[in-house]
Amino acid sequence: MSSAVFYFSKSGVSEKVAKNIAERLKCPCTRLMDTKSWKGPLGFVKGGYYSTQEKLVTLHSISVQPMDYDNICIVSPVWASKMVPAVRTFIRLYKDSLKNVHIVFTLAGDNPSKAITNFLQEVPNAEPIAFKQKSVLNNSYLNDLYAFIENFSNLNDE
């Protein structure tokens, strides 16, 4: 069975996780980019506002078609206890055609539960996991990540 990774990353943490997953699964890794600027203090405030309000954004086109894969792994930072606008937009665009969805959150704090609950409202059967930014940066998250994606690997072997 085939897998593909899609991610958004502002400061590189989720990108590191996404690339790790794709390397492990030997599958495509696609960055989701939108047309907004999230830079600086203003970008931070705007990001929090867009996430809280569940606003959608315009995504740059992607060459990998998510509906062509059996397993989709999405990696998103937590913004204001929710998924980022680019990931919400991606989900809204494709969710009816996605098969098995796995969501990996990265966050600065301790509590991903609101973000996970909010994601599951959009994709009820998704498999969630979350990693603290600190554990990604010092690589202590790797064992847990590999256990999470072992599922994919097994499926890929079938």
Binding site for ligand FMN (CB under 6 A): 9-15, 44, 47-48, 77-81, 106-109, 133
User: How far apart are CB 50 and ligand FMN at their closest, in Å?
Assistant: 8
* Shortest Å distance, C-beta 144 to ligand FMN: 15
In the bound state with ligand FMN, the residue whose beta carbon lies nearer, of 78 and 129, is: 78
Beta strands 29-31 and 71-79 are unpaired
Whole-number Cα distances in Å, 141 to 7, 93, 145, 155 = 17, 30, 6, 22
CB of 85 to ligand FMN, least distance (A): 10
In angstroms, the CA 141 to CA 64 distance is 27
What minimum distance in Å lies between the beta carbon of 116 and ligand FMN?
Answer: 12
Here the tokens at position 1 are: 């069975």
Q: How far is the CB of 27 from ligand FMN (least distance, A)?
A: 19
Nearer to ligand FMN, 13 or 116 (CB): 13
Q: Which is nearer to ligand FMN, 25 or 83 (CB)?
A: 83
- The burial of 100, by beta-carbon neighbours within 10 Å (0-12 exposed, 13-18 middle, 19 or more buried), is given as middle
Strand partners, 92: none
* CB closer to ligand FMN out of 121 and 125: 121
Q: What is the DSSP string of 71-98?
A: EEEEEEEEETTEE-HHHHHHHHHHGGG-
- Residue closer to ligand FMN by CB (options 15, 34) is 15
